[in-house]
Amino acid sequence: MNTKYPVLFSPAKIGNVTLRNRTVMAAMGMSQSDNGFVNKAVLNHYAARAKGGVGAIVVEVTCVDTPLGLNTNGMLVIDDDKYIPGMAQLSGVIHEGGAKAFLQISHTGRGARRKIIGERPVGPSEVAMPYSFMMGLGNETPRALTIEEIKAIEEKYAQAALRAKKAGFDGVEIHSVGYYLGQQFLSKTANIRTDEYGGSRKNRIRFHLNIVKRIRELCGDDFAIIVKLSVVEQGKDGGISIPDGIYYSKALQDAGVDAIEVLAGKWSEESGKNEKPESAYPDCMAVPLCQVVKAGLFLTTGRKKKIPLIGGGRAQDPAKAEKALEKGSCDFIFIGHGLLVQPDLVKLIEEGREDEVRPCIGCGHCINQQLQHGGRAICSGNAVLARGDNDDTLPPAEKKKSVVVIGAGVAGVEAARIAAKRGHSVDLYDSSGKIGGQINLADKPPFKDHFRLLKPYLERQLELTGVNVHLGKAVTKEDVLSMNADAVVCATGSKPVSLKIEGAHRAIFAKDVLAGAETGRYAVVIGGGSTGCETAEYLAKQGKNVAIVEVTDTLAGNTGKTAQTILMGHLKGMGVKMLTQHRAERITPDSVICTDKDKNTVTLKADTVVMAIGERPDASLYNELKDILPEVYNIGDSNGGGILPNAVYEGYTAGCKI
């Protein structure tokens, strides 16, 4: 028993299923199946988390009705017996790791896209999905399901549960959150039916109650049923009130559901100035909703709730999770992205090694890569996630080498860390007086709270792996040659570029602003990528009058869709002037002269002009060494840059190759 967090690490039951502790891995779509079938990547992914100490794993969203129920091409499927053998392997590796196995069963409904399913989506009613907070997409108006079709889908859910039982799963979770069909039936804005499936709370919950009843008939009482439930649907188009959510919770409790994973659904055409991105989410943010449900059930029934509640939402801080459990706010803690970035998170906490846990920084690349770009989910911290077969085995080096890494940004630190873990002797150099590279500036804009957690982790990893760190040392070609290293890794970063326009010398760079450079009252940011927009927000929060000039028609297009939506809401709410399809032509002592797409001239007042049009790789050292030394690598921004997950992946790969 862990004495620091005794409740968190105490066993507890969901139905008749006993978990070794009170942690539950939340279902998160990874889109890494082979046409719906379990493959090696899926097996390795869940095996690592089971071995990592979590009490139960809810396997990612799994389709009960192809093609209409799909949300990505890589989604797992359970609508036919042919999927049972692979699912049996999956439950097996989870059980071997000591965790209990639940399968999340789902239908995407109106959230599906024609390009995925090949036809018009379906839903409770002919109401198009609004601007979805997660997806960032407006879908076409769905075709309303007939009663016969609804009953057929209910049966498909139940048959999927039976297949899960045959495959060895301990239970299923019915997905009723987000843009999925379960939530659509519960929402009075998505469901405007006037028949037995709409109009009243009793009718809107009928879909779920029929599914639960049929699963019980097919699978018996020992097979656990969880419902992942939106107890409130927020935003302009929200259709689930708190009283609705309490009513649904009571109905599910009365129907014999074994647990509710409590969340909020969200639809928002405009996120507004008060919304926070995931990089600033509070810890255990969904736990207060559990308290609402708990209080609501007591007020409704006059008795304490019987059904276990699973709460969480950025629940990586074990002290806060313990407090929530101790107070009885919830009965189990669900953990999502924290287990993507650190598969053995629970084990490390149990062993008192919390300082070794890599934090989730809330960048949103996992969701963005999967839902926006149709690929596998990737991670800014875990280089292995959804890459290849998800194999995180680090074989020891066949020959121990002397390795020199130049550049202590994220890519360089990852290369040094991995090479050292494999047994190499590693020296890490950086010309600045600190490690972290771009992270030292990336955490400066507003709402980048969790980015600040990364640097202490990197520093601790260098200590644990015994990397020799040399800061404040600019390394030259001659220096490297004198070191007689067996392998050299160049992670020398990039340099900002400037427009070649009249008056460009009057501008400063975005990184100078974020580093604390003095700025005036009127600022014009040239370049509307993520750096430019975040710098604009940084300045606007200081009360500056800010304008952004961007030559394309999109702002922050290289940002995850959720974060982009929120950022645009912030900028609009603070009155930032956003000029897309405008080109900066000239900078004067007190203005920026621009032209729009029709060649009309626009003059913007400016006593500060900020260049944020991108960076150029600094591969000069690599180019000097690549034809001289036998083993030289170029990684991170000096190799072309890109998103943070790619920098980590390149560092990891270099560390493995040496």
Q: Among residues 390, 428, 388, which one has the least CA distance to residue 409?
A: 428
DSSP 8-state secondary structure symbol assigned to residue 637: G
DSSP for 481-507 reads HHHT-SEEEE---EEE----SBTGGG-
Q: Quote the CA–CA distance of 293 and 290 in Å, as a whole number.
A: 5
Residue 400: half-sphere exposure toward Cβ, Cα within 13 Å: 7
Q: What is each CA distance from 9 to 12, 96, 329, 331, 396, in whole angstroms?
A: 9, 19, 16, 12, 33
Instruction: Yes or no: say if 123 and 181 are a contact pair by the CB < 8 Å rule.
Output: yes
**DSSP 3-state assignment of 215?**
helix
CA torsion angle 25 31 36 38 (round to 10): -50
DSSP for 602-613 reads EEEE-SEEEE-S
Residue 55: half-sphere exposure toward Cβ, Cα within 13 Å: 23
- Give strand pairing partners of 595: 583, 601
Q: What is each CA distance from 115 to 71, 73, 139, in whole angstroms?
A: 10, 10, 11
Q: Among residues 266, 13, 316, which one has the least CA distance to residue 136?
A: 266
Catalytic residue among 180, 522, 538, 649: 180
Q: What is each CA distance from 461 to 152, 355, 415, 416, in whole angstroms?
A: 53, 9, 12, 10
Pairing outcome for strands 17-19 and 12-14: antiparallel
Pairing outcome for strands 601-605 and 591-596: antiparallel
For residue 290, give every residue at least 6 positions away whose Cβ sits within 8 Å of its Cβ, in sequence order, or none: 262, 309, 310, 311, 324, 329, 330
Q: Quote the CA–CA distance of 25 and 42 in Å, as a whole number.
A: 15
DSSP 8-state secondary structure symbol assigned to residue 368: I
Q: Quote the CA–CA distance of 89 and 100 in Å, as a whole number.
A: 14
197 is catalytic: no
Helix (H) / strand (E) element for 262: namely strand 259-266
- Residue numbers annotated as active site: 180
